[in-house]
């Protein structure tokens, strides 16, 4: 349902709306004017005073990012580290964990490579990699997940939302099953963070995700989450200046790891991107994380209804309302060619597994979605 929030103001905050109808927000997202101002102000301050610029402090910006993430995910202090991308986080976890030969890792069918490649080194060490069928509904996936588990299963690394179909996986139920059977659950949160509810209190102990999708952050910034109780089970594979206690004092060298997940943020990050990410999270937090998710679902549902009227089949029709990603196909319509035709009209979507994938965000409007439907009607 719609609410009385000033969505027109949000639409006006995004310059991309004057050029394109951007519906690939589960791929990358454009910057808003408020965030652009924040980054510009920081760069202006840095140009005048360098690292002595008082408007943006390294420690305070980092703390602000962590505070906002703790609120979004119901996490505890010290459980996040700012990294670069999902693949980096998954490699930290995969290479840092201790698995025995003869054990099994479960991965998702047709998973994005960032949650596959980091685990493949285990295959050469006597650990089997097994694939869980995606299925067409969350309930059917859950059945397939349980059926794939064996006495040798020690770890499952899954996505919160499938990147091609937009189907949200039943992560809460998966977490309960893993806890009951002594299986470690690793979550690729890239398509879920900011889109669907993801509560670390469900029993999610490990997660990595990129920040440039639903969280509107910059390309090249990711987050690693390790719960307090599991931190000791992951061995850091890198050690740098910021890995240790007392990292602001460079000599003598230190041996003691930081007692938080920040030990994995082993050296100086890209502070420009930190300012960007903090401002983007602040923008979403001001709207309200729950309201953002509700608005995305509303826009997706509106678009899906219009597509059905044009003869499209929507992937989410198998299980109910879309969570925000609308994957649609129509007999006789080549999705790749359709995406190119839409692009020629300034509409940005992508083709995935034979479907057109649309992903609206809060800055998109009903008027834009009507233009998309009109363009598809002409194409058909």
Q: Residues 312-332: pLDDT tens digits?
A: 999 999 998 779 999 999 999
Name the residue among 362, 211, 190, 224 with its Cα closest to residue 276: 211
CB burial string 99-114: b at 16+ within 10 A, e below = beeebbbbbbeebbeb
* CATH entry 1.10.10.60 includes domain 7-30+288-379: no
pLDDT digits (tens, 9 = 90+) for 321-371: 779 999 999 999 999 999 999 999 999 999 999 999 999 999 999 999 999
Cβ–Cβ under 8 Å, residues 324 and 213:
no
Local confidence band at 75 (pLDDT 50, 70, 90 cut-offs): very high
d(CA 207, CA 160) in angstroms, rounded, equals: 10
Quote the CA–CA distance of 128 and 215 in Å, as a whole number.
34
Report the residue count for the chain. Answer: 380
Residue pLDDT, tens place only, 15-30: 999 999 999 999 999 9
What is the strand order of the sheet 350-352 is part of? 313-314, 326-329, 355-358, 350-352
User: What span, in angstroms and rounded, lies between the C-alpha atoms of 304 and 217?
Assistant: 26
Classify 234 as helix, strand or coil. coil
Position with higher pLDDT, 262 vs 4: 262
What Å distances lie between residue 144 and 55, 128, 131, 169, 353, CA to CA? Answer: 52, 18, 10, 12, 21
Q: For position 2, what pLDDT does the model report?
A: 55
Q: Where are the domains of the chain?
A: 7-30+288-379, 43-285
Give the pLDDT mean for 257-281: 97
Predicted local confidence at residue 54, as pLDDT: 83
Quickly list DSSP for 301-332: HHHHHHHHHTTPEEGGGGTSS-SS-EEEE-TT
Helix, strand, coil fractions of the chain, as percent rounded to 5: 45, 15, 40
Show contacts of 309-318: CB within 8 Å, 24+ apart. 309/373, 310/373, 310/376, 310/377, 310/380, 311/380, 315/136, 315/165, 315/166, 315/167, 315/355, 316/165, 316/166, 316/167, 318/136, 318/137
Tracing tokens 């994380």 back to the chain, one arrives at 289
Model confidence pLDDT, tens digit, residues 27-69: 999 999 999 999 999 999 999 999 898 888 999 999 999 999 9
Beta partners for residue 350, in sequence order? 357
In angstroms, rounded to a whole number, what is the distance separating the alpha carbons of residues 155 and 176? 13
Rounded Cα gap, residues 128 and 217, in angstroms: 35
Give the number of other Cβ atoms within 10 Å of residue 183's Cβ: 18
Domain 43-285 class? Answer: alpha beta
Alpha carbon distance 273, 271 (integer Å):
5
Q: How far is CA 4 from CA 9, 17, 25, 366, 367, in A?
A: 12, 21, 23, 15, 17
Task: Check pLDDT > 60 for residue 197.
Answer: yes
The mean pLDDT of 156-185, rounded to a whole number, is 97
What are the C-alpha distances in Å from 224 to residues 40, 58, 377?
Answer: 27, 19, 43
**pLDDT tens readout for residues 277-307:** 999 999 999 999 999 999 999 999 999 999 9
């Amino acid at each position: 349902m719609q609410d009385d929030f000033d969505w027109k103001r949000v639409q006006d905050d995004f310059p991309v709306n004057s050029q394109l109808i951007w519906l690939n927000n589960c791929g990358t997202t454009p910057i808003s004017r408020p965030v652009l101002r924040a980054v510009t102000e920081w760069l202006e301050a840095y140009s005048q005073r360098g690292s002595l610029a008082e408007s943006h402090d390294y420690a305070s910006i980092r703390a602000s990012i962590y505070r906002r993430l703790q609120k979004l995910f119901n996490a505890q202090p010290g459980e996040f580290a700012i990294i670069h991308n999902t693949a980096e986080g998954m490699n930290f976890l995969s290479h840092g964990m201790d698995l025995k030969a003869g054990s099994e890792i479960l991965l998702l069918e047709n998973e994005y490579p960032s949650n596959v490649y980091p685990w493949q080194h285990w295959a050469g060490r006597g650990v089997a990699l097994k694939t869980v069928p995606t299925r067409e509904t969350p309930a059917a996936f859950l059945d397939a997940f349980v059926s794939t588990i064996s006495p040798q299963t020690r770890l499952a690394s899954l996505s919160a939302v499938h990147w091609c179909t937009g189907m949200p996986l039943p992560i809460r139920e998966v977490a309960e099953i893993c806890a009951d059977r002594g299986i470690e659950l690793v979550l690729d949160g890239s398509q879920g963070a900011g889109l669907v509810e993801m509560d670390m209190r469900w029993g999610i102990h490990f997660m990595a995700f990129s920040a440039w999708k639903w969280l509107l952050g910059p390309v090249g910034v990711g987050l690693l989450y390790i719960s307090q109780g599991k931190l000791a089970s992951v061995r850091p594979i890198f050690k740098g200046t910021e890995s240790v206690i007392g990292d602001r004092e460079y000599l003598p060298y230190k041996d003691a790891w930081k007692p938080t997940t920040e030990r994995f943020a082993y050296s100086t990050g890209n502070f420009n991107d930190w300012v960007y990410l903090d401002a983007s999270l602040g923008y979403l937090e001001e709207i309200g994380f729950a309201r953002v998710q509700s608005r995305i679902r509303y826009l997706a549902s509106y678009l899906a209804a219009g597509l059905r009227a044009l003869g499209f089949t929507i992937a989410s029709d198998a299980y109910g309302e879309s969570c925000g990603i609308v994957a649609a196909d129509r007999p006789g319509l080549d999705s790749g060619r359709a995406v190119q035709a839409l692009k020629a009209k300034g509409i940005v979507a992508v083709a995935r597994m034979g479907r057109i994938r649309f992903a609206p965000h809060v800055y998109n409007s009903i008027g834009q979605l009507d233009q998309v439907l009109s363009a598809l009607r002409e194409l058909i």
